[in-house]
Amino acid sequence: MSRSFRSAIVALAASTASALGCVTVQDLGSHPAAGEAGAPGFPFLEGGFPWREDSGSPAKVFFVTKGRYSGDLGTEGAAPSGPAGGDSVCTREAREAGHGGLFKAWLSTSTENAKSRIKAVGPWRSLASGSLGSALVPFPSAAVTDPPADFLRYTADGTDLFFEPNRLVWTGTKLNGTRNDNGDTCTDWTGSLATLRGGRGDFDQIGDGQWTDSRALDRTSETSPCSERLRLYCFEQ
């Protein structure tokens, strides 16, 4: 962002705020611009993401991946383990969209539950494109295991996946944040064979626990072969 454009924005904000009696022009002008040393969080940051907030935002970022990946997340994320590969995928997509911070994937394995991987540091907000600060807060509490209050279909760059035909997400996780009863986790997210199975959720189904466990209604067949390519849920930590 050019300094002249940035200055114009600050001047406009200053005159508006001054007219409302919120702050003075001098108060606003005394702060460094976004991107400079000591700058406060400002909604218009470098990279053209007007809904992005600084890392001190009271709401953390949540998104579903734009890319789809096989059950071998270790290979997909070039990491030594499946969960670490999922984290790497989440971080990669976050960085491509201009977000800093630490991101982890909502995944359970045979030895670790998803709720243990995701620290209770919420609430988490979706990145609805065009919404300053993002009004959508699908996980309004600090605990991810509470049912989401809004749709989960937004990617890290604010893309709405509503019209996408494939809405499935690798999770291996029940609504309470623990591993699926059948243990289908694509060999702890290191296998991509069609003979292996992985538990999945649906990002467009926020009721009945289906966002994380499609088997919540049909407990007989709702897993996917690990050769399929599904999305991931990513939480800022």
Cα separation, 220 vs 227, whole angstroms: 20
Q: What is the pTM of this model?
A: 0.74
Strand, helix or coil for residue 198: strand
User: What is the tens place of the pLDDT at every residue in 128-139?
Assistant: 865 444 568 999
The DSSP 8-state label assigned to residue 81 in this structure reads: S
> How many CB atoms sit inside 10 A of residue 75's CB?
16
Structural domains of the chain, with CATH: 1-42 (no CATH), 55-237 (3.10.100.10)
Q: Give the tokens for residue 205.
A: 């189904």
User: What is the tens place of the pLDDT at every residue in 62-111?
Assistant: 999 999 999 999 999 999 999 999 999 999 999 999 999 999 999 999 99
Can you say how many angstroms the Cα of residue 100 is from the centroid of all Cα atoms in its chain?
12
Contact 233, 152 (CB under 8 A): yes
